[in-house]
Amino acid sequence: MPEERQMSFSLLLDIVEGKVKRSGVFYIQKQCSNLMEELPELTGDVQTHIPWMSEALVHKDHYENLYCVISGEKEFILLPPSDRPFIPYELYQPATYRETEEGTFEIVDEENSPKVPWIPLDPLKPDYDRYPSYRSAKALRCSVKAGEMLYLPSLWFHHVRQSHGCTAVNFWYDMEYDIKYSYFQLLESLTNAVGSL
């Protein structure tokens, strides 16, 4: 988990634009449709939802995602749910970055928390010796620039990088737990069963 800090939006912009020097990588991430609640300054600039998406998706869940880039650029590596058998998972202790008094960062384990499944592979430089099955994954790459939008379907694996000063807004829509979800759960169970043999 990243270190979390409270600060004004104007201070964050000054840091991102290089007017104020601070150590670390600063960004705002808001989940669960709380953008308008926590950053009401944006109310006049950002719609609360995308009307055609609300109509096009009869079902809703935060797994259906419209990713809108306002400034800068985001680079995505996307893997479909059907690639699950080729994507490695391992269990890790949850941890949080904390800034030290010297201004560097350390990773502090959350020792009382149960381990969580995590993908140990770096999709930018996959270690095919350690994870040979990943060679069979069919990654798609795309860039989303200012004024563009990406529809990220539910259950798709993704890795994201961004340009300096990138600003983006996500619109989340509920996923229907239908045959697509059942198929993914079957694939997950089969992958785990074969992996434990």
In the chain, where the domains are located: 49-194
User: Per-residue pLDDT for 56 more than 60?
Assistant: no
**Under 8 Å between Cβ of 89 and 116:** no
pLDDT at 114: 92
More confident residue, 69 or 5: 69
Quote the tokens at residue 147: 């004024």
CA distances in angstroms from 120 to 31, 87, 131, 139, 185, listed in the order given:
24, 9, 10, 16, 21
**Under 8 Å between Cβ of 121 and 88:** yes
Distance CA 28, CA 59 (A): 28
User: Per-residue pLDDT for 136 more than 90?
Assistant: yes
pLDDT at 134: 95
Tokens 């434990």 sit at which residue? Answer: 196
141-178 tens-digit pLDDT: 999 999 999 999 888 888 988 887 788 888 888 877 77
pLDDT at 60: 27
Percent of the chain at pLDDT > 70 equals 80
**Under 8 Å between Cβ of 121 and 75:** no
CB atoms within 10 A of CB 85: 15
Q: Where is average pLDDT lowest: 15-19, 42-46, 112-116?
A: 42-46
CATH architecture of 49-194: Sandwich (2.60)
CB hemisphere CA count around 165 (13 angstroms)? 10
Closest CA to 35 of 53, 47, 51: 47
pTM: 0.70
